[in-house]
Amino acid sequence: MKIEILGTGCPKCKATEKIVKQVVEELGKEVEVVKVEDLQEIIDRGVMMTPAVIVDGEVRIVGHVPSADEIKKLLK
């Protein structure tokens, strides 16, 4: 499984990355977590609001910091 966190480095993007990494560690899942900060790459993926979370190539969360429970649901 691959989770990509899209965001340019704003506080909300950093909070999203922290939550995702905490949940992945808590669940002990084999997950690759990648941070995408390049604005052009974010736009090329069709994301106009950050933070965004992509799971295995599918945009799942856009425009808000997800809760730990939201991330857990995505990983099941």
Catalytic residue set:
10, 13
Distances (CA, A) of 22 to 47, 49, 64: 24, 23, 17
Single-letter amino acid, residue 46: G
Contacts of 37 (CB under 8 A, 6+ apart): 7, 8, 9, 13
The tokens 């069709």 sit on which residue?
A: 46
